[in-house]
Amino acid sequence: MNTENQSKKIILSGIQASGDLTIGHYAGAMKNWVQLQDDYECFFMVADMHAITTKQIPADLRRRSIDVVAMYAACGINTEQSTLFIQSHVQEHAQLAWVLNCFTGFGEAQRMTQFKDKSQQHSENVNVGLFSYPVLMAADILLYQADLVPVGDDQKQHIELTRNLAERFNHLYSPTFIIPEPFIAKEGARIMSLQEPKKKMSKSDPNQNSCIFLHDSDAVIRNKIKRAVTDSGTDIIYDIETRPGISNLMSLHHIATGKSMQAISDEFNGRGYAPFKEAVAESVAELISPIRSRFEELRSHPDELSALLKTGADKAKRQAFKTLRKVYKKIGFVEPS
């Protein structure tokens, strides 16, 4: 047994493989994961099973699932230390999700605001998988006995459901699951669209200029930032309500340089938008350029990536199997002989 890991708390998080990763993912997820990985035992997954709750082109899903893994590593996740894996490689996710489905109230799932939003967005394909999406997410988390789940604000309700399901199961049977806590990224980590700064930056936005991808070239990054929507007036002051465009550019500069909002404002306020935008373009290009190179390097060695995924899946499976076996026993499933 690995005694070192036993004393560490466990983290699990993941990103859906439904689009290419953006600087929003970096700011809201990977940047924090990198900082957490020394202090926690971390499982980082690619949620390909969640991705198929909306329509996917098979070849794209396959490429993207691997891209996401390579991007995790390119952003600084230490693949020796943390466990990286693809959700569908560990069957226990689907298996525990089924059990948890049978402990989730219909009304409880119906109250999830993301379900309501997504069923409006994809009104032509409101499937049962979309409905039980948060239950699969609960399975992802509970299988690993995660203590902490770093997520964006929009996932908080899903963590709340996960906690309720875990408590319900523990109460009905006996203590089985750790009750996880959400770990919400701090302010400034939420990156908005460059074109409509009141909306979250989204990989699926049809306007490509609204979104900076982690594989964008320096020239593309500079161009997108140059075209970013700003607010009327000239103040460079952080205020999401009245100055959403400038505040978003300040967040980007903060993410890329580590400077505080106050320091950024002190440096640029009163000098007009142009020099500020130039500085943001420069800092963001400087942040992404090494990530892009590492990504391309990793992507050019598919054998190493698939070996890494095999190791990750094996390690994840060991933990997942342990939890699932307990659950199956408690609910009365006969152990296979």
Measured distance CA(66)–CA(149) in Å, rounded = 22
Under the binding rule (CB under 6 A), the answer on residue 141 touching ligand TRP is yes
Beta strands across the sheet bearing 9-16: 83-86, 40-47, 9-16, 148-151, 181-184
Per the annotation, the verdict on 326 as an active-site residue is no
Residue 165 has a CB neighbour count (10 Å cut-off) of: 24
Q: Please tell me which residue in 8, 9, 156, 200 is annotated as part of the active site.
A: 200
Under the binding rule (CB under 6 A), the answer on residue 130 touching ligand TRP is no
- How many residues touch ligand TRP (CB under 6 A)? 13
Instruction: Determine the residue type at 66.
Output: I
**Dihedral sign from CA coordinates of 157, 214, 129, 310:** negative
Cα Rg of the chain, angstroms: 21
Q: Please tell me which residue in 8, 203, 226, 259 is annotated as part of the active site.
A: 203
> CA of 193: how far to CAs of 22, 38, 107, 172, 310, in Å?
11, 32, 33, 45, 36
CB of 151 to ligand TRP, least distance (A): 5
| Cβ distance to ligand TRP smaller for residue 50 or 277 | 50
What is the footprint of ligand TRP within residues 40-69 (CB under 6 A)? 47, 50
24 backbone dihedrals φ, ψ, rounded to 5°: -65, -40
Under the binding rule (CB under 6 A), the answer on residue 140 touching ligand TRP is yes
| Cβ distance to ligand TRP smaller for residue 44 or 276 | 44
What is the footprint of ligand TRP within residues 12-31 (CB under 6 A)? 12-16
Stretch binding ligand TRP (CB under 6 A), from 9-17, 183-191, 270-278, 290-298: 9-17
By residue count, the chain amounts to: 337
Under the binding rule (CB under 6 A), the answer on residue 10 touching ligand TRP is no
Give the residue numbers annotated as catalytic, written as ranges: 118, 200, 203
Residues that bind ligand TRP (CB under 6 A): 12-16, 47, 50, 137, 140-141, 149, 151, 155
